[in-house]
Amino acid sequence: MKRIMSLLRATLATLLLWHALPTLAAELPPLSLADAKAKAAVILDTRASYFYQGWPMEGEQQGGHVAGAENLSADWKYSDEEWPAALATKGLQAERPVALYGAPREVAEVARLLRQQGIKQLFELQGWKSAPREHLARWQQLVHPRWLADLQEGKPVVAAPKGDWKLFEVAWGSPKAYLLSHIPGAGYIDTNRLEEEPLWNKVSDEALKKLLLENGIRHDTTVILYGRNTMAAARAAHLMMYAGVEDVRLLDGGLDAWFVQHLRTETGLANTFKPAKEFGVAIPAHPEYYTTLSQAKELLKQPDGALVSVRTWDEFVGNTSGYSYIKPKGDIPGAKWGRGGVDANSMSDFHNPDGTMKPAREILAMWDEWNIEPTQQAAFYCGTGWRASEAFFYAWLMDWKRISVYDGGWYEWSADPKNPTVTGERKPAK
Protein backbone atom coordinates (compact mmCIF):
# COMPACT_ATOMS: atom_id res chain seq x y z
CA MET A 1 0.00 0.00 0.00
CA LYS A 2 2.84 2.38 0.86
CA ARG A 3 4.42 1.73 -2.55
CA ILE A 4 1.11 2.48 -4.32
CA MET A 5 0.68 5.75 -2.39
CA SER A 6 4.27 6.73 -3.21
CA LEU A 7 3.69 6.10 -6.92
CA LEU A 8 0.46 8.12 -6.83
CA ARG A 9 2.22 11.05 -5.16
CA ALA A 10 5.03 10.94 -7.75
CA THR A 11 2.51 10.82 -10.61
CA LEU A 12 0.54 13.72 -9.14
CA ALA A 13 3.72 15.77 -8.74
CA THR A 14 4.65 15.12 -12.36
CA LEU A 15 1.17 16.12 -13.58
CA LEU A 16 1.29 19.31 -11.53
CA LEU A 17 4.73 20.14 -12.92
CA TRP A 18 3.65 19.63 -16.53
CA HIS A 19 0.48 21.65 -15.86
CA ALA A 20 2.67 24.51 -14.65
CA LEU A 21 5.18 24.36 -17.50
CA PRO A 22 3.25 26.57 -19.97
CA THR A 23 3.20 29.27 -17.27
CA LEU A 24 6.93 28.85 -16.75
CA ALA A 25 7.53 29.17 -20.50
CA ALA A 26 5.47 32.36 -20.59
CA GLU A 27 7.77 33.81 -17.92
CA LEU A 28 10.72 33.74 -20.31
CA PRO A 29 11.29 37.19 -21.82
CA PRO A 30 10.63 37.29 -25.58
CA LEU A 31 13.46 37.76 -28.05
CA SER A 32 13.24 38.34 -31.78
CA LEU A 33 15.47 36.49 -34.20
CA ALA A 34 17.25 39.74 -35.12
CA ASP A 35 17.94 40.52 -31.45
CA ALA A 36 19.06 36.94 -30.83
CA LYS A 37 21.64 37.29 -33.59
CA ALA A 38 22.72 40.72 -32.31
CA LYS A 39 23.29 39.23 -28.84
CA ALA A 40 25.13 36.21 -30.34
CA ALA A 41 22.62 34.05 -28.52
CA VAL A 42 22.50 30.28 -28.90
CA ILE A 43 19.25 29.42 -30.68
CA LEU A 44 17.92 26.18 -29.23
CA ASP A 45 15.28 23.92 -30.80
CA THR A 46 13.54 22.06 -27.97
CA ARG A 47 11.44 19.78 -30.23
CA ALA A 48 12.00 16.14 -31.11
CA SER A 49 14.97 15.65 -33.42
CA TYR A 50 12.71 14.44 -36.28
CA PHE A 51 11.36 17.95 -36.73
CA TYR A 52 14.81 19.46 -36.34
CA GLN A 53 16.17 17.19 -39.08
CA GLY A 54 13.51 18.19 -41.60
CA TRP A 55 10.11 16.63 -41.00
CA PRO A 56 7.33 19.26 -40.89
CA MET A 57 5.07 19.29 -37.86
CA GLU A 58 1.33 19.07 -38.35
CA GLY A 59 0.10 22.26 -40.00
CA GLU A 60 3.58 23.35 -41.08
CA GLN A 61 4.47 24.07 -44.69
CA GLN A 62 8.18 23.61 -44.04
CA GLY A 63 10.18 21.37 -41.75
CA GLY A 64 13.64 21.66 -40.31
CA HIS A 65 15.13 24.05 -37.81
CA VAL A 66 15.77 27.76 -37.60
CA ALA A 67 19.01 28.44 -39.48
CA GLY A 68 21.96 27.99 -37.14
CA ALA A 69 19.94 26.45 -34.30
CA GLU A 70 21.14 23.69 -32.03
CA ASN A 71 18.88 20.84 -30.91
CA LEU A 72 18.21 19.93 -27.28
CA SER A 73 14.92 18.07 -27.06
CA ALA A 74 12.77 18.28 -23.97
CA ASP A 75 12.48 14.49 -24.16
CA TRP A 76 16.19 13.77 -23.76
CA LYS A 77 17.67 12.55 -20.51
CA TYR A 78 21.26 13.45 -19.69
CA SER A 79 23.05 12.14 -16.63
CA ASP A 80 24.98 14.53 -14.38
CA GLU A 81 28.18 13.25 -15.98
CA GLU A 82 26.88 13.86 -19.53
CA TRP A 83 25.65 17.42 -19.08
CA PRO A 84 29.05 19.22 -19.31
CA ALA A 85 29.85 17.66 -22.71
CA ALA A 86 26.32 18.34 -23.97
CA LEU A 87 26.53 22.01 -22.98
CA ALA A 88 29.96 22.41 -24.58
CA THR A 89 28.89 20.74 -27.83
CA LYS A 90 25.95 23.13 -28.18
CA GLY A 91 27.89 26.24 -27.14
CA LEU A 92 25.87 26.76 -23.97
CA GLN A 93 27.63 28.85 -21.31
CA ALA A 94 26.50 30.43 -18.06
CA GLU A 95 26.61 34.02 -19.28
CA ARG A 96 25.72 33.48 -22.94
CA PRO A 97 22.10 34.26 -23.95
CA VAL A 98 19.95 31.34 -25.08
CA ALA A 99 16.81 31.72 -27.21
CA LEU A 100 14.54 28.67 -27.02
CA TYR A 101 11.70 27.69 -29.31
CA GLY A 102 9.18 24.88 -29.62
CA ALA A 103 5.90 24.03 -27.92
CA PRO A 104 5.34 25.83 -24.57
CA ARG A 105 5.84 22.67 -22.52
CA GLU A 106 9.04 21.81 -24.41
CA VAL A 107 10.47 25.29 -23.95
CA ALA A 108 9.58 25.29 -20.25
CA GLU A 109 11.14 21.89 -19.62
CA VAL A 110 14.42 22.72 -21.35
CA ALA A 111 14.54 26.08 -19.59
CA ARG A 112 14.17 24.27 -16.27
CA LEU A 113 16.98 21.88 -17.10
CA LEU A 114 19.28 24.67 -18.25
CA ARG A 115 18.68 26.68 -15.08
CA GLN A 116 19.79 23.63 -13.12
CA GLN A 117 23.02 23.70 -15.15
CA GLY A 118 23.65 27.35 -14.34
CA ILE A 119 22.47 28.86 -17.65
CA LYS A 120 21.02 32.21 -16.64
CA GLN A 121 20.05 34.27 -19.70
CA LEU A 122 17.05 32.43 -21.12
CA PHE A 123 14.63 33.86 -23.67
CA GLU A 124 11.77 32.58 -25.80
CA LEU A 125 12.41 33.06 -29.51
CA GLN A 126 9.64 34.94 -31.30
CA GLY A 127 8.56 34.38 -34.91
CA TRP A 128 10.45 31.11 -35.27
CA LYS A 129 7.75 29.42 -37.33
CA SER A 130 8.27 31.84 -40.23
CA ALA A 131 12.06 32.08 -39.89
CA PRO A 132 14.39 30.65 -42.59
CA ARG A 133 14.96 26.93 -42.05
CA GLU A 134 17.75 24.43 -42.54
CA HIS A 135 17.40 20.65 -42.76
CA LEU A 136 19.30 17.45 -43.28
CA ALA A 137 19.88 17.02 -47.02
CA ARG A 138 18.06 13.67 -47.21
CA TRP A 139 15.77 13.99 -44.20
CA GLN A 140 13.06 11.95 -45.95
CA GLN A 141 15.24 8.83 -45.70
CA LEU A 142 15.37 9.03 -41.89
CA VAL A 143 11.76 8.37 -40.95
CA HIS A 144 10.10 8.79 -37.58
CA PRO A 145 7.62 6.49 -35.79
CA ARG A 146 4.48 8.59 -36.19
CA TRP A 147 5.10 8.93 -39.94
CA LEU A 148 5.50 5.16 -40.27
CA ALA A 149 2.36 4.50 -38.23
CA ASP A 150 0.36 6.91 -40.42
CA LEU A 151 1.75 5.27 -43.55
CA GLN A 152 0.66 1.86 -42.27
CA GLU A 153 -2.83 3.17 -41.59
CA GLY A 154 -3.14 4.55 -45.12
CA LYS A 155 -3.17 8.17 -44.03
CA PRO A 156 -1.69 10.88 -46.30
CA VAL A 157 1.95 11.47 -45.34
CA VAL A 158 4.70 13.84 -46.39
CA ALA A 159 7.41 12.22 -48.56
CA ALA A 160 5.24 9.17 -49.21
CA PRO A 161 6.72 6.23 -51.16
CA LYS A 162 6.11 6.61 -54.88
CA GLY A 163 4.99 3.01 -55.27
CA ASP A 164 5.28 -0.34 -53.50
CA TRP A 165 6.87 -0.23 -50.03
CA LYS A 166 7.92 -2.86 -47.50
CA LEU A 167 9.03 -2.78 -43.88
CA PHE A 168 11.67 -5.07 -42.32
CA GLU A 169 13.23 -5.63 -38.94
CA VAL A 170 16.92 -6.52 -39.27
CA ALA A 171 18.91 -8.46 -36.69
CA TRP A 172 21.47 -11.24 -36.35
CA GLY A 173 20.24 -14.81 -36.07
CA SER A 174 16.81 -16.32 -35.64
CA PRO A 175 13.95 -13.88 -34.90
CA LYS A 176 13.60 -14.67 -31.20
CA ALA A 177 12.95 -11.11 -30.02
CA TYR A 178 10.92 -10.39 -33.16
CA LEU A 179 8.50 -13.21 -32.30
CA LEU A 180 7.69 -11.55 -28.97
CA SER A 181 7.20 -8.01 -30.25
CA HIS A 182 7.65 -6.27 -33.59
CA ILE A 183 6.17 -3.45 -35.65
CA PRO A 184 2.99 -4.66 -37.37
CA GLY A 185 3.49 -5.82 -40.94
CA ALA A 186 7.27 -6.01 -40.71
CA GLY A 187 9.21 -8.78 -42.40
CA TYR A 188 12.45 -10.08 -40.91
CA ILE A 189 15.95 -10.12 -42.37
CA ASP A 190 18.68 -12.15 -40.67
CA THR A 191 22.08 -10.53 -41.25
CA ASN A 192 23.48 -14.01 -41.82
CA ARG A 193 21.83 -13.71 -45.23
CA LEU A 194 23.80 -10.52 -45.92
CA GLU A 195 27.28 -11.54 -44.79
CA GLU A 196 29.24 -14.73 -44.40
CA GLU A 197 32.17 -16.26 -42.59
CA PRO A 198 35.08 -16.35 -42.18
CA LEU A 199 35.38 -12.52 -42.25
CA TRP A 200 31.71 -11.53 -42.25
CA ASN A 201 32.09 -9.74 -45.56
CA LYS A 202 29.04 -9.41 -47.75
CA VAL A 203 27.64 -12.44 -49.53
CA SER A 204 28.02 -12.82 -53.29
CA ASP A 205 25.99 -10.53 -55.53
CA GLU A 206 23.97 -13.56 -56.63
CA ALA A 207 23.12 -14.48 -53.03
CA LEU A 208 22.22 -10.86 -52.28
CA LYS A 209 19.93 -10.77 -55.30
CA LYS A 210 18.26 -14.01 -54.18
CA LEU A 211 17.52 -12.54 -50.75
CA LEU A 212 16.04 -9.38 -52.23
CA LEU A 213 13.81 -11.24 -54.67
CA GLU A 214 12.62 -13.66 -51.97
CA ASN A 215 11.41 -10.65 -50.00
CA GLY A 216 9.68 -9.01 -52.93
CA ILE A 217 12.26 -6.25 -53.26
CA ARG A 218 12.92 -4.69 -56.66
CA HIS A 219 15.13 -1.70 -57.43
CA ASP A 220 12.03 0.54 -57.34
CA THR A 221 10.60 -0.81 -54.06
CA THR A 222 10.72 1.59 -51.11
CA VAL A 223 12.35 -0.37 -48.28
CA ILE A 224 11.98 0.86 -44.70
CA LEU A 225 14.34 -0.78 -42.20
CA TYR A 226 14.59 -0.77 -38.43
CA GLY A 227 16.49 -2.68 -35.80
CA ARG A 228 16.76 -3.19 -32.08
CA ASN A 229 20.24 -1.92 -32.87
CA THR A 230 20.29 0.59 -35.74
CA MET A 231 23.66 -0.76 -36.90
CA ALA A 232 22.00 -3.96 -38.12
CA ALA A 233 19.43 -2.00 -40.14
CA ALA A 234 22.21 0.21 -41.53
CA ARG A 235 24.16 -2.89 -42.60
CA ALA A 236 21.16 -3.99 -44.68
CA ALA A 237 20.58 -0.44 -45.96
CA HIS A 238 24.12 -0.12 -47.29
CA LEU A 239 24.03 -3.43 -49.14
CA MET A 240 20.60 -2.72 -50.60
CA MET A 241 21.85 0.63 -51.86
CA TYR A 242 24.92 -1.09 -53.28
CA ALA A 243 22.62 -3.55 -55.06
CA GLY A 244 20.51 -0.73 -56.50
CA VAL A 245 17.41 -0.23 -54.32
CA GLU A 246 16.62 3.41 -55.06
CA ASP A 247 14.64 4.36 -51.96
CA VAL A 248 16.03 2.93 -48.71
CA ARG A 249 14.94 4.47 -45.42
CA LEU A 250 15.84 3.91 -41.75
CA LEU A 251 13.58 4.33 -38.75
CA ASP A 252 15.47 6.93 -36.70
CA GLY A 253 16.07 5.62 -33.20
CA GLY A 254 15.09 2.08 -34.18
CA LEU A 255 12.50 -0.01 -32.38
CA ASP A 256 13.04 1.89 -29.13
CA ALA A 257 11.68 5.02 -30.79
CA TRP A 258 8.52 3.09 -31.70
CA PHE A 259 8.13 1.91 -28.10
CA VAL A 260 8.57 5.45 -26.74
CA GLN A 261 5.62 6.59 -28.82
CA HIS A 262 3.51 3.76 -27.34
CA LEU A 263 2.61 2.56 -30.82
CA ARG A 264 1.08 -0.84 -31.42
CA THR A 265 3.23 -3.96 -31.77
CA GLU A 266 2.36 -7.54 -32.62
CA THR A 267 3.69 -11.00 -31.89
CA GLY A 268 4.12 -14.08 -34.03
CA LEU A 269 5.99 -15.35 -37.05
CA ALA A 270 7.68 -13.06 -39.55
CA ASN A 271 5.51 -11.49 -42.19
CA THR A 272 6.35 -12.73 -45.68
CA PHE A 273 5.95 -11.00 -49.02
CA LYS A 274 5.22 -12.22 -52.50
CA PRO A 275 8.59 -12.85 -54.20
CA ALA A 276 9.66 -10.56 -57.00
CA LYS A 277 10.40 -12.10 -60.40
CA GLU A 278 13.21 -9.73 -61.26
CA PHE A 279 15.20 -6.96 -59.56
CA GLY A 280 14.94 -4.63 -62.54
CA VAL A 281 18.57 -3.49 -62.81
CA ALA A 282 21.92 -5.24 -62.85
CA ILE A 283 23.50 -5.85 -59.42
CA PRO A 284 25.48 -3.99 -58.25
CA ALA A 285 24.00 -0.74 -59.51
CA HIS A 286 26.36 1.17 -57.17
CA PRO A 287 29.68 -0.69 -56.93
CA GLU A 288 31.27 2.59 -55.84
CA TYR A 289 29.60 2.18 -52.43
CA TYR A 290 31.79 -0.87 -51.72
CA THR A 291 35.55 -0.84 -51.08
CA THR A 292 37.75 -3.94 -51.17
CA LEU A 293 41.06 -4.57 -49.37
CA SER A 294 43.14 -3.62 -52.41
CA GLN A 295 41.06 -0.48 -52.95
CA ALA A 296 41.51 0.48 -49.30
CA LYS A 297 45.28 0.26 -49.72
CA GLU A 298 45.12 2.47 -52.80
CA LEU A 299 42.91 4.96 -50.97
CA LEU A 300 45.62 5.45 -48.35
CA LYS A 301 47.92 6.70 -51.14
CA GLN A 302 45.31 9.06 -52.58
CA PRO A 303 45.89 12.76 -51.68
CA ASP A 304 42.17 13.39 -51.16
CA GLY A 305 41.47 9.93 -49.75
CA ALA A 306 40.21 9.18 -46.24
CA LEU A 307 40.14 5.67 -44.79
CA VAL A 308 37.94 6.28 -41.76
CA SER A 309 38.04 4.01 -38.69
CA VAL A 310 34.60 3.97 -37.04
CA ARG A 311 35.77 2.26 -33.86
CA THR A 312 36.23 3.13 -30.20
CA TRP A 313 39.36 5.02 -29.19
CA ASP A 314 40.58 1.92 -27.31
CA GLU A 315 40.28 -0.12 -30.51
CA PHE A 316 41.93 2.60 -32.59
CA VAL A 317 45.00 2.83 -30.34
CA GLY A 318 45.24 -0.92 -29.77
CA ASN A 319 44.11 -1.37 -26.18
CA THR A 320 41.54 -3.93 -27.37
CA SER A 321 40.53 -5.58 -30.62
CA GLY A 322 36.90 -4.97 -29.76
CA TYR A 323 35.83 -8.56 -30.49
CA SER A 324 36.29 -11.91 -28.79
CA TYR A 325 36.99 -13.57 -32.15
CA ILE A 326 39.54 -10.99 -33.39
CA LYS A 327 42.91 -11.42 -31.70
CA PRO A 328 45.17 -8.71 -33.21
CA LYS A 329 44.98 -5.26 -31.68
CA GLY A 330 45.67 -1.93 -33.34
CA ASP A 331 44.53 -0.20 -36.49
CA ILE A 332 45.51 0.66 -40.04
CA PRO A 333 48.43 3.09 -40.45
CA GLY A 334 47.23 6.29 -42.10
CA ALA A 335 43.59 5.78 -41.13
CA LYS A 336 41.61 8.65 -39.65
CA TRP A 337 39.55 8.23 -36.50
CA GLY A 338 35.87 8.75 -37.27
CA ARG A 339 34.55 7.97 -33.76
CA GLY A 340 32.19 5.19 -32.75
CA GLY A 341 30.72 4.50 -29.34
CA VAL A 342 31.43 2.91 -25.99
CA ASP A 343 32.16 -0.53 -27.47
CA ALA A 344 31.91 -2.56 -30.68
CA ASN A 345 28.11 -2.74 -30.32
CA SER A 346 27.62 0.99 -29.95
CA MET A 347 27.45 4.10 -32.14
CA SER A 348 26.67 6.42 -29.23
CA ASP A 349 29.03 9.15 -30.51
CA PHE A 350 26.57 9.62 -33.37
CA HIS A 351 23.38 9.45 -31.32
CA ASN A 352 21.28 11.80 -29.24
CA PRO A 353 20.31 10.47 -25.79
CA ASP A 354 17.24 8.78 -27.30
CA GLY A 355 19.24 6.93 -29.97
CA THR A 356 18.29 9.20 -32.86
CA MET A 357 20.87 10.68 -35.24
CA LYS A 358 22.76 13.70 -33.92
CA PRO A 359 22.52 16.96 -35.86
CA ALA A 360 24.73 16.99 -38.94
CA ARG A 361 26.71 19.92 -37.56
CA GLU A 362 27.81 17.83 -34.55
CA ILE A 363 28.87 14.86 -36.67
CA LEU A 364 30.73 17.13 -39.06
CA ALA A 365 32.54 18.76 -36.13
CA MET A 366 33.70 15.33 -34.88
CA TRP A 367 35.00 14.38 -38.30
CA ASP A 368 36.61 17.76 -38.89
CA GLU A 369 38.87 17.14 -35.88
CA TRP A 370 40.50 14.36 -37.90
CA ASN A 371 40.40 16.18 -41.25
CA ILE A 372 37.58 14.04 -42.60
CA GLU A 373 35.90 16.31 -45.12
CA PRO A 374 32.79 16.06 -47.36
CA THR A 375 34.82 16.53 -50.55
CA GLN A 376 37.15 13.59 -49.87
CA GLN A 377 36.95 10.06 -51.19
CA ALA A 378 35.95 8.46 -47.89
CA ALA A 379 35.69 4.76 -47.07
CA PHE A 380 34.34 3.91 -43.62
CA TYR A 381 35.29 0.71 -41.81
CA CYS A 382 35.07 -0.85 -38.37
CA GLY A 383 35.60 -4.45 -37.28
CA THR A 384 33.23 -6.24 -39.64
CA GLY A 385 31.01 -3.60 -41.28
CA TRP A 386 28.04 -2.77 -39.08
CA ARG A 387 29.27 0.47 -37.50
CA ALA A 388 30.83 1.54 -40.79
CA SER A 389 27.48 1.08 -42.53
CA GLU A 390 25.75 3.42 -40.10
CA ALA A 391 28.46 6.08 -40.56
CA PHE A 392 28.14 5.63 -44.33
CA PHE A 393 24.37 6.12 -44.15
CA TYR A 394 24.69 9.30 -42.09
CA ALA A 395 27.26 10.69 -44.54
CA TRP A 396 24.87 9.84 -47.39
CA LEU A 397 22.04 11.61 -45.55
CA MET A 398 24.31 14.67 -45.46
CA ASP A 399 24.78 14.30 -49.24
CA TRP A 400 28.44 13.33 -49.25
CA LYS A 401 29.20 12.35 -52.83
CA ARG A 402 32.21 9.99 -52.67
CA ILE A 403 31.59 7.50 -49.89
CA SER A 404 31.79 3.76 -49.41
CA VAL A 405 32.22 1.01 -46.83
CA TYR A 406 35.48 -0.90 -46.62
CA ASP A 407 33.69 -4.12 -45.84
CA GLY A 408 36.60 -6.22 -44.61
CA GLY A 409 37.62 -3.68 -42.00
CA TRP A 410 40.00 -4.47 -39.19
CA TYR A 411 39.10 -8.18 -39.23
CA GLU A 412 40.24 -8.65 -42.82
CA TRP A 413 43.22 -6.28 -42.58
CA SER A 414 44.60 -7.84 -39.39
CA ALA A 415 44.09 -11.41 -40.64
CA ASP A 416 47.12 -11.03 -42.93
CA PRO A 417 50.33 -10.48 -40.90
CA LYS A 418 51.89 -8.88 -43.99
CA ASN A 419 49.58 -5.88 -43.64
CA PRO A 420 51.14 -3.11 -41.51
CA THR A 421 49.43 -2.13 -38.26
CA VAL A 422 49.89 0.64 -35.71
CA THR A 423 49.19 1.00 -31.99
CA GLY A 424 49.51 3.77 -29.44
CA GLU A 425 48.24 7.31 -29.01
CA ARG A 426 48.25 9.47 -32.12
CA LYS A 427 46.84 12.72 -33.38
CA PRO A 428 45.35 13.90 -36.69
CA ALA A 429 47.85 14.78 -39.38
CA LYS A 430 48.10 18.53 -39.89
With a CB cutoff of 8 Å and minimum separation 6, the contacts of 326 are: 383, 410, 411, 414
Sort 255 into a burial class: Cβ within 10 Å, 0-12 / 13-18 / 19+: buried
> How many angstroms separate the CA atoms of 22 and 74, rounded?
13
Q: Smallest Cα–Cα separation from 221: which of 145, 273, 269, 257?
A: 273
- Helix %, strand %, coil % for the chain, to 5? 35, 15, 45
> How many angstroms separate the CA atoms of 19 and 25, rounded?
11
Catalytic residue among 382, 388, 395, 405: 382
DSSP string, 314-348: HHHHTS--SSTT-----B-TT-EE----SSTT--G
Q: Smallest Cα–Cα separation from 49: which of 61, 41, 57?
A: 57
CB 250 within 8 A of CB 234: yes
> How many angstroms separate the CA atoms of 141 and 165, rounded?
13
Q: How far is CA 350 from CA 49, 324, 388, 390, 394, in A?
A: 13, 24, 12, 9, 9
Query: Coil, helix or strand for 298?
Result: helix
- 57 catalytic? Reply is no
In single-letter form, the type of residue at position 146 comes to: R
Query: Coil, helix or strand for 131?
Result: coil
- Kindly list the catalytic residues: 382
